[in-house]
Structure 1
Amino acid sequence: MVSEHTAAQVLVASNRGPVSYTLSEDGSLGARRGGGGLVSGLSAIGSEAEALWVCAALSDGDREAVRSGVGEPGVRMLDIDASVHSDAYNGIANSVLWFVHHMLYQTPLEPVFDAEFRRQWGAYETYNRAFAEALAESAAEGAAVLVQDYHLALVPGMLRELRPDLRIGHFSHTPWAPIEYFRMLPDDIGEQLLLGMLGADRVGFLTWRWAQAFQGCCGAALTAHDVTTYWPKDEPPSVEFRPHGQQRKRTVIGVHGLGADADFLRERSRRADVEERLAALREQVGPGRKTIVRVDRTELSKNIVRGMLAYRALLDDHPEWRGRVVHVAFAYPSRQDLAVYREYTAEVSRVAEEINSLYGTGDWTPVVLHVKDDFARSLAAYRLADVALVNPIRDGMNLVAKEIPIVSDHGVALVLSREAGAHEELREDAITVNPYDVTGTAAALHKALTMPEAERAEHTKRLAAAATALPPQRWFLEQLEALRA
């Protein structure tokens, strides 16, 4: 890896970086390294590859690290004003772009694009410009730059103006909204987002469905830019347009369906701390009972409440399951600085308590709910699951659907929303549900619980194979190679 002052040949840009810092009471800084597909992917290119990760300082500890010159080789952390970051991240990225792409608005009341929105949009532009300038300053001639996600949608266009020599890619980890929903955004904002991403040589998505939606938005919303979309049989799809009357430009569209890291998951799920938590979960569930497992953050798109209502409907429609099945639900708090997320987290707990109050007995707790994040306990639940419930309203991919079959001890029946990106790869061996249909999901849970063991084992084997088709390191390298091609 390179220092932040050395020109880099490969650059990754994302809101959150691979390391974070905490500030102790005595003023000392502690570093904690993160994981995930980008971390393992970037490590795959080797330390000699002159790579640099550009990210934002997110905490007081991060900002102190930047100001005091503390850092790691291969990481450049940007000390963007905290109020600018908050407006860009919470005000626009998570409260507008996330809601648009996941189609989460209660449209009779929201969104409202007023003066406050325009003020926050200015912060989003400032935040993206800080990344573009840092990348332009840090990149070697002709370097490859991979920009990540909806937080940085404007960066490719800004960076293209600063450094036309670079090979620029953008990857979206979320779904992409269909044009009818995307057009809720003010016309100039929608146009700015699309043109920002089309500043890249290549834009990537997790599924063909999201890629087609993006191309459709370009075709419908950029008519003033002489846009033409292509979806040929033997070549990559693309968008051609004339940005602001300049020379025509072509952006290629690619799909890279991020898979799970099987080697890591299998090894990690057999460690002692996981065994301890597995024993504790078995005690909570009780002997001889089946389990319906879900592991999610309490993001509005995950549909946890409807999943619990479907479980309640299962107990109503099939009373023979009372006392014989437990819904093990892990709902880890997410984005609690936003009121709507705090309210949703509270509703998850309320519904779980209501089900336990209605149906619970002295020796049977129908819903075992955990809200404290614990990776080892999540892996223990993966191993324990008879049924995995993954029913998001809308999800870019959903790695939980891919991870559970890999570490399952005795085979798992997967109940999977058709609105999860993972459904594109896993649907042949999953039980598909409409995430809004509580009655249908209850029927799917009953079908999953009654699936013969041999059939369940065969489905699990095929699910695990599909889930590991493009593990994180190959996922990253595939994008990098395509960008350089």
Structure 2
Amino acid sequence: MSSAQQTSTDSDTESTDYGDFEFIVVSNRLPVDRVTDDDGSSSWRRSPGGLVTALAPVMAKADGAWVGWHGAPDETLDSFDEANMRLVPVPLSGEEVELYYEGFSNATLWPLYHDVIASPEFHRTWWDSYRRVNERFAQATAAVASKGATVWVQDYQLQLVPKLLREARPDLRIGFFNHIPFPPLEIYAQLPWRRQVIEGLLGADLIGFQRPSDASNFLRCVRRFKGHTIKAQQVHVTSENGEFAYVSRAEAFPISIDASAIAALAQREDIIERSREIRRELGNPQHILLGVDRLDYTKGIGHRLKAYGELLEDGDITVEDAALIQVASPSRERVEQYRLLREDIEGSVGRINGTYDTMKNTAIRYLHHSYPVEEMVALYLAADVMLVTALRDGMNLVAKEYVAARTENRGALVLSEFAGAADTLRQAILVNPHDIDGLKAAIVKALTMPRAETMRRMRIMRRQVLQNDVERWSKAFLDALHDGGRGES
């Protein structure tokens, strides 16, 4: 850092070199992607996504820095400025990407936290790499944080960082937000390193979750595995000698989207025309249904395809009258479970299309791509029914994007009750995706619901999404983090 760094001589801490930044976000990835220009040179482009959109104004106002991996293994980069913020790359080796990220984060924690839909794997080498990488993130953060800075750590890949930061820099105000579900005690108990992870999270002054049930699950695990006193979502953390040390709070802060931006795109004439073109490309069917997911076993894509295939078999829908667009963005393709899932999904699509396609009509248009937001909004506008059938999902922002895009209050949302969005989008047609007959009935209901009823439901949901956008989410969390003080009384 610059020569402006100062040295603390506070009596209650060791001599510390402070950094220059008052607000730091810490996440697994930096909010930029490297792009190669036509002349072969490389540059950085801001990544799409609501988190950076929500936090960019805070960054600009509070002299902010973002700590994260830049996406290329076995490469070390110096800090650099981009999009009005300081970016601090944390290097990861190819082996660490395999063990820390693909291994412990996505083959241990991800399935465990999603109700063991797939079996988690427990390997000590993965845990060792996860711990070392978390230490590196904490060290990088401590080095750039000014005295008394606010640090906001993001998501399950970095659950040890809050405690490591508290130990290295007790002057910091530390928040943590878990973007995915937190599992019930009976499932979390399987994790061999359950106490270490809880201790890591409890280093934060405020721990945010998507749903109140997630916060309750966490507090129940704290009580079971650490024995701390808990009062009204406040954990009274004790030191090793049993004395009270500080308070850590666990609360729900449901994340949202940049709703006004989605709504603005939905009113652009070129995007409206593209939505019409999509319908023409499908033969102008009476109904278009849409699924948009990362290709992941938690999303319930297979359940959705099974229900749709049975509706075609039963004759409740025909390829002449309806078409399903399924966007399945590539995901973790080096992980075996995801390769097998892709084969299974593509096999299901092939069987359904082979059975029901005609020369003019296709039952399912399957798209294994990622698309820019403009194309996604065009798809939202083209679709009469949105199908969100997640088996377990922290929030599901696609559901909220669809609602925000429906500026004329038309369209129907079929939404899994196991997605966090179901807590607030109560006017959706809520389903248990494991109940195939119930899912089929929900799809038929969405297709046949009177327009006045669909508009009434959509109007209420749009009001909720537009009033509770991602900027309001970030403000609510940061206000709660600061209003709660340092949790030392």
Look up the match of 1:195: 199
Structure 2 residue corresponding to 1:209, chosen from 198, 213, 236: 213
Structure 2 residue corresponding to 1:162, chosen from 154, 162, 168: 168
Deviations 1:390-427 (A, max 9, x none): 01010000011111122125611111111000001112
1:316 Cα deviation after fit:
2.7
Look up the match of 2:100: 88
1:281 aligns with 2:278: yes
Please state whether the residue corresponding to 1:426 is helix, strand or coil: coil
Look up the match of 2:390: 392
Look up the match of 1:377: 375
Please state whether the residue corresponding to 1:422 is helix, strand or coil: helix
Amino acid at match of 1:171: F
Amino acid at match of 1:430: A
Separation in structure 1 between the aligned mates of residue 80 and residue 34 of structure 2, nearest angstrom: 10
1:272 Cα deviation after fit:
6.2
Change over 3 Å in CA distance of 1:112–1:406 after alignment to 2: closer
Structure 1 residue corresponding to 2:470, chosen from 466, 469, 472: 472
Structure 1 residue corresponding to 2:303, chosen from 301, 306, 314: 306
1:21 aligns with 2:19: no
Separation in structure 1 between the aligned mates of residue 285 and residue 51 of structure 2, nearest angstrom: 40
Separation in structure 2 between the aligned mates of residue 170 and residue 246 of structure 1, nearest angstrom: 24
Tell me the TM-score normalised to structure 2 length.
0.89
Q: Residue 155 of structure 1 contacts residue 196 of structure 1 at CA under 8 Å; is this kept in 2?
A: yes
Structure 1 residues without counterparts, runs of 5 or longer: 232-236
Report matched runs for 1:135-284 at 5 Å: 135-186=141-192, 189-223=193-227, 227-231=228-232, 237-248=233-244, 249-271=246-268, 274-275=271-272, 277-284=274-281
Please state whether the residue corresponding to 2:344 is helix, strand or coil: helix
Change over 3 Å in CA distance of 1:37–1:25 after alignment to 2: closer
Amino acid at match of 2:459: K
Report matched runs for 1:316-335 at 5 Å: 316-319=313-316, 321-335=318-332
Change over 3 Å in CA distance of 1:162–1:389 after alignment to 2: same
1:17 Cα deviation after fit:
1.2
Structure 2 residues without counterparts, runs of 5 or longer: 6-18, 484-489
Deviations 1:29-78 (A, max 9, x none): 22121132221222222624111111113215x936x15x6553421111
Look up the match of 1:234: none
Look up the match of 1:75: 87
Separation in structure 2 between the aligned mates of residue 89 and residue 3 of structure 1, nearest angstrom: 35
Separation in structure 1 between the aligned mates of residue 433 and residue 443 of structure 2, nearest angstrom: 13
Q: Residue 85 of structure 1 contacts residue 127 of structure 1 at CA under 8 Å; is this kept in 2?
A: no
Structure 1 residue corresponding to 2:365, chosen from 365, 368, 376: 368
Q: Residue 257 of structure 2 contacts residue 400 of structure 2 at CA under 8 Å; is this kept in 1?
A: yes
Separation in structure 2 between the aligned mates of residue 416 and residue 243 of structure 1, nearest angstrom: 44
Q: Residue 37 of structure 1 contacts residue 476 of structure 1 at CA under 8 Å; is this kept in 2?
A: no
Amino acid at match of 2:471: Q
Amino acid at match of 1:407: A
Look up the match of 2:60: 47
Q: Residue 4 of structure 1 contacts residue 52 of structure 1 at CA under 8 Å; is this kept in 2?
A: no
Q: Residue 109 of structure 2 contacts residue 120 of structure 2 at CA under 8 Å; is this kept in 1?
A: no
Look up the match of 1:420: 419
1:332 Cα deviation after fit:
1.2
Change over 3 Å in CA distance of 1:3–1:291 after alignment to 2: farther
Q: Residue 20 of structure 1 contacts residue 32 of structure 1 at CA under 8 Å; is this kept in 2?
A: yes
Structure 1 ranges of 4+ moved more than 6 A = 2-5, 24-27
Deviations 1:219-245 (A, max 9, x none): 22223xxx12233xxxxx222232433
Amino acid at match of 2:34: Y
Change over 3 Å in CA distance of 1:42–1:387 after alignment to 2: same
Change over 3 Å in CA distance of 1:49–1:438 after alignment to 2: same
Amino acid at match of 1:230: K
Separation in structure 2 between the aligned mates of residue 185 and residue 362 of structure 1, nearest angstrom: 52
1:181 Cα deviation after fit:
0.7
Q: Residue 284 of structure 1 contacts residue 368 of structure 1 at CA under 8 Å; is this kept in 2?
A: no
Amino acid at match of 2:410: G
Change over 3 Å in CA distance of 1:484–1:319 after alignment to 2: closer
Amino acid at match of 2:161: V
Separation in structure 2 between the aligned mates of residue 246 and residue 354 of structure 1, nearest angstrom: 62
Change over 3 Å in CA distance of 1:326–1:135 after alignment to 2: same
Please state whether the residue corresponding to 1:63 is helix, strand or coil: coil
Amino acid at match of 1:473: E
Please state whether the residue corresponding to 2:157 is helix, strand or coil: helix
How many residues end up aligned between the 2 structures? Answer: 464
Separation in structure 2 between the aligned mates of residue 297 and residue 436 of structure 1, nearest angstrom: 19
Please state whether the residue corresponding to 2:430 is helix, strand or coil: strand
Q: Residue 257 of structure 1 contacts residue 470 of structure 1 at CA under 8 Å; is this kept in 2?
A: no
Coordinate RMSD, CA, aligned: 2.3
Deviations 1:158-181 (A, max 9, x none): 111001111101000001100111
1:320 Cα deviation after fit:
5.0
Amino acid at match of 2:368: V
Separation in structure 2 between the aligned mates of residue 320 and residue 295 of structure 1, nearest angstrom: 21
Separation in structure 1 between the aligned mates of residue 324 and residue 23 of structure 2, nearest angstrom: 45
Q: Residue 285 of structure 2 contacts residue 323 of structure 2 at CA under 8 Å; is this kept in 1?
A: no
Structure 2 residue corresponding to 1:56, chosen from 58, 65, 69: 69
Deviations 1:450-473 (A, max 9, x none): 100111011111111122332122
